[in-house]
Structure 1
């Protein structure tokens, strides 16, 4: 029999401790149903502090702005509002509803940046409340200025969004974006800012690139600095650069597992080993006459340079045209740096629980595990993330039958993380509860240290960033996951919970400002 191929989740102490609490988790699912989303508000405050430490290391000012679209949670947003100093922490909202949510969570307008496509209602509330508006185009800037003039509002701070950067003398391939104004057209955009100078206040410029490439982001920041130089020559007073998000997360406990799995997947697609996926699914790859074709279309689950470390690396890059470290250029010009991490700020901030309903074996010997959840509730594969769940048994498993793998962060006798090669392991396919052939929570053969049983829970770790409710809906009248906030006093106190919308920081964590 082939050795099991694990992809164990990386678990930091707070999340690992929660997963090591079956007596707390099982009653929650019994009371509130499966699937169930859990968020850890105190973790987002820790993540903000980790980003702020990078700012301090480079002696930079500016704000860490949580990209609200990563999660709809009220608890995470309210905890962020209580995390300070206020001048250093805020939120990036991308819709009218998110703007209303942020204001209602206790974030003052000076801590909010309005991004994303804007309809007239969204633009009006942004102007009315005086939040900073990341304007996406000359037309949007004009519409904003007209609203200010029509209603006699104070000048609105704006951050024009730029795109399509090209650094002189360098060859950096950039992916086209449907958002933003091309950097080559910055001159006419600044003309428009000057024309509407009584209505808008240019506080800086912004970009947000759909890429993980450091070189591409460095070229974009270099381009922004050159546009800010032009703005100053015109007598404008820009004060900051907003570099957006895209800092990433390292989801895996062991990078070697990722290398081994992707290698074995290619071998399986070429017919050199037993299949690893349902019906030969290749995640963008396919085998043709002994040759591998296509591109592996998955998120790089092992990213050692991610989150705050990625920001640190970006700031250390040399500006392609200006020839000096980006952090140095920001500091010398007295520019603040704004960042908009979403996935990275929700790293380790939550998990999704699903109850095992049925385990059956097909005539071909495949083990199928049906969960009280569906692929829309647990959007891991929808976003290209391959990651093992953690088994939280309803009753302890007998000793000597596997056990939690090394590096999982889960103590023996509680949840058995699907991790390294402890025990023989069992391969299963995870099925959803919809009456659809396509409702597979994993198209990948998932290896667990023990065979799950009805009544057990599978915990999908680190789902707070985009995987909880980004795709959830009420298909076939199946309920979507409720969301609860969990917290504890100190590192060893008992876990407590409340419904997400009932969480307020003053009841638990106090104010960090």
Structure 2
């Protein structure tokens, strides 16, 4: 049976160059510990420019906001502060973070659940408040009545859009107000006309489906018309994030692996996962049941390409391209990519601590990290780490299938339940590079479980043609040069 079911990661030019600096990476881990998160700040600005290119293609205007929740890095936020890109914050601490990094309030959008302190600071600094419910809108109005605050720019987040023709199923969400409640929301805005500036309406859907998003965008255009009929002058539609990222270099790797995973679940080949975990698939009387619960790790239409395809799509009932409808109404378009904007912006390094063979013959590799430090399994994303052999370490040149375990005293602390195929066998002292972890996998779930340290972060930058590094919190956009 083949032992080379690779899921080879797609690597950007900068990431590939940095991985090639093997001695420097090893020294960094020796100095700062394992795991270690490595950021590439300039890449996030390059990614943002790709969204601008889509705007120019469709003759649209509006703002690109980075969804800060995808990564806590200070270096990334400071780099963005020096660019034209805005930032979307979903907590009080994120708001304080971006203000300290150099963002002015007019470039900040406040989203997510908000307490009184979050609302006050957002209003005080002039952020655009994306309101999640009627109750939140009332709370914001009462806050502005009690305290001397400037006029607050608000957007109304909507959900549960309904199709008039062919039924388009929309996943229920706890965020946003039902589109039928737009009238109630406008009543509250009307009550606070002296303190609210209604910028427009928004949606944010937990789906990759283009039909659902097209329906939601068309629904927002209808809601904008209702705003105008009520005497308001809205100017923008915000369509949130969810543009995705393409993690794998080859589609054939993904198709081959998922096919073989199905065969393993059916028992027609050896297991490919720890204890034959099926990722949503199961065998019943020789028949494959269930649905594969994995993120589509190979997505050729992702990021700015996904946005382009959405804007080129016809509105379900108006039957005209969505970009054309936005342009004809002179509406700005706001987007909030998270994962997609930090694509190729970082990686996580972990040292191999132990390699052992179980009685059943499985190879178990324990690394100096845990599944909270590298949370690909939690987000159901699959891609191979890259093995960097340490000088003088043992190991064969034969492809090896291994299970990666973490440093927590917990049975389920597996970096991934998948058997990972490496081109060489690892040994203690080697490094594993987990690429493209900046979007949610690096620090979203990181904690101090069992008093294990949280990974340090470093920022990489080019200076006089060579790669240099500094601690994440010590990075400023004035460092280095792009030459």
- Which TM-score tier does this pair reach, normalised by the shorter chain? over 0.9
1:153-232 equivalent positions in 2, closer than 5 A? 153-232=149-228
Q: Which SS does the other structure have where 1:26 is aligned?
A: helix
Residue 501 of structure 1: which of 473, 476, 479 is its match?
Answer: 473
Q: Distance in 2 between matches of 1:290 and 1:112?
A: 54
Alignment gaps of 5+ in structure 1: 403-423
The residue that corresponds to 2:427 in the other structure is: 453
Give 4+ residue runs of structure 1 displaced > 6 Å after superposition.
396-399
Q: Give the superposition deviation at 1:442.
A: 1.7
Residues 411-467 of structure 1: CA deviation (Å, up to 9, x unaligned): xxxxxxxxxxxxx51100111111111111121110000001111100000000000
CA distance in 2, matches of 1:504, 1:257: 39
* Shift of residue 489, structure 1, vs aligned partner: 3.2
Report the counterpart of residue 67 of structure 1 in structure 2.
67
Residue of structure 2 equivalent to 1:379: 375
Deviation at 1:321, TM superposition (A): 2.0
Distance in 2, matches of 1:453 and 1:398, equals 6
Question: How far apart are residue 396 of structure 1 and its match?
Answer: 8.0
Question: 1:138·1:189 contact (CA, 8 Å) conserved in 2?
Answer: yes
Aligned pair 1:265/2:261, yes or no? Answer: yes
Aligned equivalent of 1:418: none
Q: Distance in 1 between matches of 2:239 and 2:340?
A: 14
Aligned to 2:443: 469
Whole-Å separation in 2 of the counterparts to 1:396 and 1:459: 19
Q: Structure 2 unaligned runs (5+)?
A: none
The CA deviation at 1:508 is 3.1
Question: How far 1:345 sits from its partner (Å)?
Answer: 0.2
Query: Are residues 1:233 and 2:234 paired?
Result: no
Q: Do the aligned partners of residues 397 and 449 (structure 1) sit closer, same or farther apart at CA in structure 2, a change above 3 Å counting?
A: farther
Q: Is the 8 A contact 2:3 2:400 kept in 1?
A: no
Residue 295, structure 1, aligned to residue 291, structure 2: yes
Q: TM-score, normalised by structure 1?
A: 0.92
SS class of match (2:221) = helix
- Structure 1 residues 509 and 193, CA gap change in structure 2 (3 angstroms): farther
Whole-angstrom distance in 1 between the partners of 2:51 and 2:463: 24
- How far residue 397 of structure 1 moved from its aligned partner, in angstroms, is 8.8
Task: Kindly state the Cα deviation for residue 234 of structure 1 after the two structures are TM-superposed.
Answer: 1.9
Cα deviation, residue 363, structure 1:
2.1
Partner of 1:34: 34
Tell me the secondary structure at the aligned position of residue 383 of structure 1: coil
TM-score of the two chains, using structure 2 as the length reference: 0.97
Q: CA deviation at 1:232?
A: 1.2
- Whole-angstrom CA distance in 2 between matches of 1:71 and 1:126: 20
State the SS of the aligned residue for 1:203. Answer: strand
TM-aligned CA deviation for residue 297 of structure 1: 1.1
SS at match of 1:305: coil
| TM-superposed deviation, 1:43 | 0.5
CA distance in 2 between counterparts of 1:135 and 1:361 reads 54
Q: Which secondary structure does the structure 2 equivalent of 1:54 belong to?
A: helix
> How many residues align structurally?
482
Matched residue SS, 1:293: strand
Matches for 1:281-360 after TM superposition, within 5 Å: 281-360=277-356
Q: Which residue of 2 aligns with 1:479?
A: 453
Corresponding residue for residue 105 of structure 2: 109
Hey, what does 1:412 align to over in structure 2? Answer: none
Asked if the contact 2:241–2:336 (Cα under 8 Å) also holds between the matched residues in 1, the reply is yes
1:509 CA drift (Å):
5.1
SS at match of 1:134: strand
2:24 counterpart residue number:
24
Shift of 1:245: 0.1
Q: Does structure 2 retain, via aligned residues, the 8 Å contact 1:250–1:301?
A: yes
* Match for residue 254 of structure 1 among 250, 253, 256: 250
Cα drift, residue 20 of structure 1: 1.0
**Conserved in 2, the CA contact under 8 Å of 1:24 and 1:495?**
no
Task: Say if 1:483 and 1:499, in contact at 8 Å, map to a contact too.
Answer: yes
Does residue 99 (structure 1) correspond to residue 95 (structure 2)? The answer is: yes
Please, what is the CA RMSD of the aligned residues?
Answer: 1.5
* CA separation of 1:9 and 1:396: change in aligned 2, threshold 3 A: farther
Higher mean C-alpha deviation, range 245-254 or range 189-198: 189-198
Q: CA deviation at 1:167?
A: 2.8
Per the alignment, do residues 156 and 331 of structure 1 end up closer, same or farther by CA in structure 2, a change over 3 Å counting?
A: same
CA contact (8 A) 2:70 2:339 kept: yes
The answer as to whether partners of 1:36 and 1:353 remain within 8 angstroms in 2 is yes
CA distance in 2, matches of 1:35, 1:242: 37
For the 8 Å contact 1:167–1:222, the answer to whether it is kept is no
**Offset at 1:343?**
0.1
